[in-house]
Structure 1
Amino acid sequence: MITILEKSYNYQNNIIGDAAPSGSQSKTAYNATTLTLTQLLNYKKTLAERHNFSALLGHENYYLNSRVLSGNKTGIIALGINELDNFTTIGGLTSYQDTYKMESVFGEVKYNLDQKYFISATLRRDASSKFASDKRWGNFWSAGAAWLINEESFMKSINWIDQLKLRASYGETGSDGSAYYGWQSLYNIKPNNTVPAYYLAAAANPALSWETNKTADIALEFSLFKNRLRGSVEAYKRASSNLIFNVPLPANAGTTSITRNIGTMYNKGIEFDLTVTPVKVKDFTWDFTLNGSVFKNEITKMPTETPTIISGTKQYKVGQSIYQFWLRQWVGVDPQTGSSIYLDDASTAGNTIYTTDINRARFDYSGSAIPDISGGIKNVFTYKSLSLSSILSYSLGGKFYDSNYSALMAVNSSYGKSFHQDVLNRWQKPGDITNVPRVDDTDATNLNAGTSTRWLVDNNFLVLRNITLAYTIPVKYVSKLKLSRINVFASGDNLLYLTPRKGLDPTTSFSGTNSSSYIPSRIFSFGANVSF
């Protein structure tokens, strides 16, 4: 059993900012308890020294209970005391809890002949409290096979191949989504002229069921030239059906959305992992690893009643990707007036019309968050007992919607607001050529260009994740201390971010959007690993 307790505090002073002139204090306590019970039975058997069998049978229960208590008060009495009792007016007080349960029964069978031919199969049955009792259980299975080609007799004469393995598999897995109570009607309690009243917060969908992912893959693993070149190449396709989404409802439905199984999509791609040892001499070795991934995503089915669904900066539609941006088409800044210019929705192929009214701006697909290729690079240099390693991650192609930058560039009437330094490049007089509109609070909505291509950037980046220098002290010295091994090291994490904009961390989300977060801090570590 694991219990997690988190507390957060938010004090806002009474001098400047959103809480001025009264000041405010908020406190939130989060408590989560999880319990996992697993029972396993394993069986192994070898017959005639050639036939190797193994089997596994298991049962698992998972339980989660999370509790939240949050309060806010305004009107500070005595400065320097940030307790709720030191504030006069209750701004909000709420508490709630969530409970989630899951039960699974699963089994696996494996067989190999002469450690050369391998087959396996799994079957599992899962039940989730996120579904009604008649939809709760889902059945999922998988099967796989592998062939160790280098063990064949016809490969023995090829001495530059150390290992060659072909494998393939097909399987089905299930996802129960993120909504704990999508199959039930939920109601909120709010005062109606001081009288308690119920209103519909979430519509019930008792037909809600498991989202299913069907994955097929084939891969080749290899080691060549006495292990100087090794790696793998894999191709896969995953089709997801009965996708679980919150679907918008009309205003007369009494609530804004309902959780449904609405559509089908697929992901397909290629992944590779290659390691080469360019230099290997008596005391020095250099290993270089490059891995990468390319893939495509496409929606193949949407419900008839909602053929398109807008979700934030995306619009889901058959033939498009869930990572495709759906944004207003921002063109630039008028050099004569400093206004934001948009492509007018009335534009046609032969007649391009521009507008400064954001409400007339055309929405259109504006590129995808999916990169052309992404992956990592690793170098390891070893000289005797000394080693130096580095890890980088990279991405080429794709788009990123920088909502943090959008918030820092938005001009409005809020006082105590922070701005990005790029605001200094704003339009100021006729003839100015810039990509930052004029500062004018009376026309802020049109000028700020919310949810538009103004905030979309090319998402090419290179991040230096880690550098580590390590030294293993020779055994003849370590043994005198009655120890078996001592390794001392110095390392640095998050040392360099080459990103589309300073301060942008595009690694936070594959969907190409960010939240209020900073680039991870640089961390420098020094230590020793000791074995007794």
Structure 2
Amino acid sequence: MRAQKNSYFSATAAGYPNDNILNNLSSAISPVYTQSDDPSKPQSYLVSYYARANYTYKDRYLLTFTGRADGSSKFGPDHKYGYFPSGALGWRLSKEKFLEDVPWIEDIKIRGSYGLTGNQNIGNQMYRTLYAPNSYAGNNALTPIQLGNPDVKWETTKQTDIGLDFSFFKNRLSGTFDWYNKQTDDALLQLPLPPSSSYGMLLSNSVGIRNRGVEVSLQGDIIRSHDFRWSVSANISWNRSIVTRLTKNADLSQIRTPTGLEYGNTTLIEGQPLGLMQGMKVTGIIKTQKQLDDYKAKLGPMGFVFPYLGIGDPMFQLDTVSFASIGGAYPDFHALIGSGALKYFGGFTQGFSYKNFDLSLYFLFSAGGHLMWGDDVASTTFVGTSNANQSMLGRYTAQNPNASRPRLLLSDQIIYNTNLSIYSSSYVKLRTATFNYRWPKSRWMSNSGILSAAVFFSATNLFTITRYPGNDPETSDDSFSVAGAISM
């Protein structure tokens, strides 16, 4: 059992008769502010029960069963416990009689597993509706701070794995192959609520996500001699994450766009991958009076959004959206402008050894994704004293009519999250390089009690090949980060 409890008390008062001696709370004339435990962060408990059984027959057939039950105070009385069984089977083919005499096979094993895992990584007591003490006009008051959801429960992921392990040629070649399928039907997500509710967010099991992919790993010695060895290892992964379900709760329907659910700088759409980036899609720069007039006509009543619209400004992709609640249609600027989903990613290592010298090179690579360059977004309006990046130099001017970037307006406060700030995140990077020298054993080392000694030099992030103009394409996945990029 694991328990967590935080407690505190603080008080402030004014009107002390003496700051040196009579300075405790009871000496003050009037209390100013008193505060104790935050009701939104009370104590929490987790109790777990775990059982495991293993069975092996002739080191050929392997069976594992695991049963787990967890109870968490983070969920309501009817949903505190989650049950997560799992099982795995293994078959070592290399131990079978029809393969025992094959000299170049060391090991071949087929394995498979199925199991459930749970997630309770949320705040404490979020299933409750909470109020905080406050004061207004000299009177005591209670202020709503959290809308509870008593139906919130454990997030459960069902996972299936099928794998193959092998080793050949006296372990000169080995590797693994894995196929997996993870299905989460009740992912925990904080959904925004309309301001009229007086609450900001509501936690619910509102999203279904499927992760399916393949992982391959290989290791081998290309050259293995007495003095020289060249070894290679590589791994590559293909993963696809699909949104399989969005909440259909009518009370939350107003925060859904016509295509999906906006969340941060991304959009969740049923049947589409995770990491879809939303924003405003620039279709061109206004360069003639006719283009300006046509675009204003297309904007219609929504033209007030761009009060200074003129030649040199961007034209955005518009979709006409109809909503019964407002009794008509209006142009919608929301568009999908990129995807952070990768086609594949991985790494590979080159290792060289010659006598007492070792050299290791570790590379990483990624292909197929996109990043939104946060610094470029912040530089779009050029407001305030912050530095802007050099993309500002490509703005539209009378002397630069063929520019792909819009003109610059003084004190323009509209910040565009547009496709102009979306770049490919594909890269190849030399993450680390290490050179090592192993001192040969000698009499003085033995006499000194030194068993071994080595000296090495290591360098990190030596070079990166990429089209992404920011600091590093291998960046944070914080969707609100402006340090490097915005991605999912």
Residue identity in the other structure for 1:318: E
Q: Check the 8 A contact 1:376/1:391 in 2, yes or no.
A: yes
SS at match of 2:50: strand
Alpha-carbon distance in 2 for matches of 1:333, 1:344: 15
1:243 aligned to 2:184? no
Mark the runs of 5 or more structure 1 residues left unpaired by the alignment.
Answer: 1-59, 70-92, 348-358, 520-532
1:377 aligned to 2:329? no
Q: Residues 401 and 179 (structure 1 numbering): CA distance in 2 closer, same or farther, change over 3 Å?
A: farther
In structure 1, the residue matched to 2:472 is 505
In structure 1, the residue matched to 2:409 is 440
Q: Deviations over 1:139-169 (max 9, x none)?
A: 1111001111111110023222221111100
In structure 1, the residue matched to 2:373 is 402
Residue identity in the other structure for 1:379: Q
Q: Check the 8 A contact 2:264/2:480 in 1, yes or no.
A: no
In structure 1, the residue matched to 2:272 is 320
- Superposed displacement of residue 107, structure 1: 1.4
- Which has the higher mean CA deviation after the structures are superposed, 250-259 or 218-227? 250-259
Q: How does 1:274-285 map to 2 (within 5 A)?
A: 274-285=218-229
How many residues align structurally?
420
In structure 2, the residue matched to 1:338 is 312
Of structures 1 and 2, the one with the larger relative CO (CA 8 A, separation 6+) is 2
1:483 aligned to 2:450? yes
1:105 aligned to 2:74? no
SS at match of 1:262: strand
Residue identity in the other structure for 2:315: I
- Superposed displacement of residue 131, structure 1: 1.2
SS at match of 2:85: strand
In structure 1, the residue matched to 2:308 is none
Q: Residues 242 and 201 (structure 1 numbering): CA distance in 2 closer, same or farther, change over 3 Å?
A: same
In structure 1, the residue matched to 2:102 is 158
Q: Deviations over 1:70-102 (max 9, x none)?
A: xxxxxxxxxxxxxxxxxxxxxxx9996664432
Alpha-carbon distance in 1 for matches of 2:373, 2:131: 35
Residue identity in the other structure for 1:180: N
Q: Deviations over 1:220-267 (max 9, x none)?
A: 111122222211111010000211111222333221221011132211
CA-based RMSD = 2.8
Alpha-carbon distance in 2 for matches of 1:382, 1:124: 47
- Superposed displacement of residue 65, structure 1: 5.0
Q: Deviations over 1:54-79 (max 9, x none)?
A: xxxxxx5253759999xxxxxxxxxx
Q: TM-score, normalised by structure 1?
A: 0.73
**Larger radius of gyration, structure 1 or 2?**
2
Q: Check the 8 A contact 1:65/1:100 in 2, yes or no.
A: no
SS at match of 1:134: coil
Q: Residues 407 and 65 (structure 1 numbering): CA distance in 2 closer, same or farther, change over 3 Å?
A: farther
Q: Deviations over 1:458-492 (max 9, x none)?
A: 11012221111112212225323202222221111
- Which has the higher mean CA deviation after the structures are superposed, 331-340 or 274-283? 331-340
Q: Residues 95 and 61 (structure 1 numbering): CA distance in 2 closer, same or farther, change over 3 Å?
A: closer
Residue identity in the other structure for 2:206: I
Q: Residues 161 and 209 (structure 1 numbering): CA distance in 2 closer, same or farther, change over 3 Å?
A: same
SS at match of 2:392: helix
Q: How does 1:10-409 map to 2 (within 5 A)?
A: 60-61=1-2, 63=4, 99-188=43-132, 192=136, 197-305=141-249, 306=253, 308-335=260-287, 337-346=311-320, 360=331, 362-409=333-380
- Superposed displacement of residue 128, structure 1: 1.9
Q: Which has the higher strand share?
A: 1
1:462 aligned to 2:428? yes
- Superposed displacement of residue 444, structure 1: 4.1
Mark the runs of 5 or more structure 2 residues left unpaired by the alignment.
Answer: 11-34, 289-310, 322-329
- Which has the higher mean CA deviation after the structures are superposed, 143-152 or 184-193? 184-193
Q: Residues 514 and 263 (structure 1 numbering): CA distance in 2 closer, same or farther, change over 3 Å?
A: closer
Name which of 363, 386, 395 aligns with 1:426.
Answer: 395
SS at match of 1:181: coil
Q: Residues 435 and 253 (structure 1 numbering): CA distance in 2 closer, same or farther, change over 3 Å?
A: same
